[in-house]
Structure formats: structure tokens, C-alpha cells
Amino acid sequence: MRTSSSEDIPIPGDYSGCILRGNFSRELKKRVAHSISCYQEAENIGSPAIQYLSAWKEKEKIIWYEFVGEQFRRLLMCDRGKEAEVFRDSILERRVYKYDDFDHEVQQEALDRTDLMKVRKKLRAESKKTGFNEAVYKVSLKGEGVVWLKDQAVVESYPRDHISLSHGCLMVVTKEMEVEEQLTKTETALHGANRELERLANLDGLTQIPNRRSFDRAMQREWKRLRRETGVLSLILCDVDDFKAFNDTYGHQAGDNCLRSVARVLNSQIKRPADLAARYGGEEFAVILPNTSAEGAFHQAESFRSAIEMLFIPHAGSSTGDYVTVSFGVSTFVPGDDAAPEALIAKTDAALYQAKESGRNKVVALLFEPDKGVNNGV
């Protein structure tokens, strides 16, 4: 044990720090020497904690250790004086756990090595301000592989010397973190499975477009939204003409393929996120068009009708020609308190009925006026 030449402060024989030999205040040197003595004593009696004393200068990126025990050095498998560099280069990830007072949940913040290097100075400033630092590090060590270390440290500032000290303690928590990671993976897989179940619950198994359940939800949602915004809502209902005759002639597998083809046409032509094409039931489909005028909805339905006819799906039992055709009903309304979505659906269904009764393979549009009933078709 040596002493500082300018001050009667002991310097350990294996000391590799800077402060005890540097031009710093007696207060700082005494604090460092006392801490080193305490940490050495703790290690000598076999403390499982890996204790350290690190330091850094304000406005500088360099951090160094004033004390590192043999436990830490053995873990890092490095030479004396290289601990800070080796530990920094071994970090794969840094995690911080914070309690959210609003959600009453523990939130996890993770930084990989690249991001950590960018914010090291900021993190030191935060720990200096709070006087405390707690994080979990995922590190890759020679001979040990991946190891998780929990770091808890008290930070002290010495403005006169422009130095900050971090009195830290590391604990190996690899087993605990492996359990946490496995739980996280399980939860992620569970959430993914639940999302897939939700998706399937809202998808028609045959046509792979939204089903009636999804349509009902979207209709309620858009009705409420457009009532608040005083927006216009258009609805299209369509039905494959003479579909029973098609099934009787070509079989149910061909009928399924026909419905898939019709669904593809409808789904491919809607472009906006709020638009929805759904299988309404049997050979009937529905298309929700928020903020679409009566004229715009009519033209969209006509585009659907023409595109389906141009598929040229043979239909020997059709009453309209040689190929599969579809009839369309359209209705448009500004949602308000004096009507419900079911009324718009009923009016659109009435328009579809008119299209079927007046010859099929056509579009009929009815304006929805709750107090006046059905307007003239377009």
C-alpha cells in the first residue's frame, strides 16, 4: 500500500485508476480511497455482488474504473486496466424498466449497442441528475457466451473536480432474464395467435374477404363516425343472378369458384382504407363506401357489374345471357339521429330487389329519405 505524495491517502498496489494519482481535491481522493477499501473488504469475504467504482469527466466521453474486483475481471477475461473497454465492447443490449403511473404497468425500454453508443452522454447526465442508475445489460463474454448483468449504482458529483463517481454493484441474472425472454416470446406468440384468430373470425372462409360479422361492425362504426362528421354513406348490395341454376348445372365446386371470382373483383376495385367489400350471405355481397356520393356509388356499382360480366364465366342456365352476371342495389344517406344503419340496408336491399325484378344484370339506386320512403330509381 502506497500513499499519495501530496496527500496522506493510501493507494492500493494494484490500483489502475486516475484520481488517486491525479490533480484532484482531497475530498474526492478520500472518497475514492475509502470506497476502494470497502469494496476490497467485501470481495475478500466472498460477497456474491460484483462491485465497482467508475468515474467520468464532465463533457468527455471516456469512462474508467477506479476499482474493479477480481470477480469482474475474471468474468470479462481481460487484463487490468482494460475492463471499461472490454465491457463496453461486449454489450449487446441495455434494458431499463420503468413503472408507468398512468397505466400502472412496468414499461421496458431497450437499446442495442449502436443506439446505446449514441446516447451514452445523455444517460450519464440523467444518472447524475437523479443520483441513481439501474439497468440490465445483455453482454457477450469470452468463455461465458451470453450473460445478463443487473447494474445498480449510486452516482455522486464533485463539481470542483468536474468528476462524477458511480458506486455500482453487478449481479448475474442470466437465469431470470432467460425466463423473462421465454415468457415474452410466449406472450408474443399468444398475441399473434389471438390476432390471427380475430382475423379469421372476421374473414369469410370461402372467398377470403370480410364476412357478415365484419360488415356489421364496419357499418356500425362508419354510421357513428359519419353521423358525428355529417358525412355521406353509400351502400351497395349485389346478388349473383340465377345462382341456384348455376349450381344445379355446374356443381357446387364451380359455384364456389364463381363466388371467389366475384369477391376478387369487388375487393380489387375498392382502394380507400375505410371502404369494405364483404360477403353478406350466400351469393350476396355488400360494399360500404363512406363519404361517397350517390352518383359515385352508382358508377362504382356499374364498374363492378361490368367487370364481373367481362369475366365470361359460362352460365347456361342464366336468364340474362351466356355468362354469369350480377344485379346491384345502391343507396346513399347522411347518417343522423332519425335513422339507423338497418334502415339504409333495407333501402339498399329494396333497390337490389328492383334490379332483380326489372331484368337482372343492372344497377338500381334509391335515395334514402327516412320520412318519404323510396325515391325514384336512378
Residue 314 lies in a domain: yes
Count structural domains, the chain: 2
Q: Is 82 contained in some domain?
A: yes
Shared domain check, 342 and 303: yes
Q: What is the pLDDT of residues 112-138, one digit of tens each?
A: 888 887 887 788 778 888 888 899 999
pLDDT of amino acid 105 = 67
172 with 210, same domain? Answer: no
pTM, two decimal places: 0.57
pLDDT tens for each residue of 11-52: 887 888 899 999 999 999 999 999 999 998 888 888 888 899
Please check whether residues 296 and 172 belong to one and the same domain: no
CATH code: domain of residue 150: 3.30.450.20
Domain assignment present for 348: yes
Instruction: Give the integer Cα–Cα distance in Å for 120 and 133.
Output: 13
Residues 159 and 102 in one domain: yes
User: What is the mean predicted confidence (pLDDT) over 192-209?
Assistant: 91
User: Within this chain, do residues 157 and 207 fall inside the same structural domain, yes or no?
Assistant: no
Q: What is the pLDDT of residue 229?
A: 92
What residues have CB less than 8 Å from 343, skipping those under 6 apart?
368, 370
The per-residue pLDDT for range 82-91, each reduced to its tens digit, is 888 888 889 9
Q: Considering only 99-113, 198-212, 295-309, which range has the smallest mean pLDDT?
A: 99-113
Assess whether 134 and 62 both reside in one domain. Answer: yes
Q: Are residues 75 and 212 in the same domain?
A: no
Instruction: Write b or e for each residue in 46-73: b if 16 or more Cβ atoms lie within 10 A of its Cβ, otherwise e.
Output: eeebbbbbbbbeeeeeebbbbbbbebbb
pLDDT at 375: 38
Query: Could you tell me if residue 186 is inside a domain?
Result: no
Does residue 167 sit in the same domain as residue 248? no
Same domain flag for 63 and 128: yes
Q: In angstroms, rounded to a whole number, what is the distance separating the alpha carbons of residues 223 and 337?
A: 10
Look at residue 275 and tell me if it is in a domain. yes
Asked whether residue 198 is domain-assigned, the answer is no
Q: Which of 146, 179, 212 is the last residue of a domain?
A: 179
Domain of 219, in residue numbers? 203-374
Q: Domain check: are 254 and 154 in the same one?
A: no
Looking at residue 320, which CATH number applies to its domain?
3.30.70.270
Give a yes or no: residue 195 inside a domain: no
Domain termination site, one of 164, 179, 194: 179
Q: Which residues are catalytic?
A: 283
- C-alpha grid cell, residue 156: 455522486
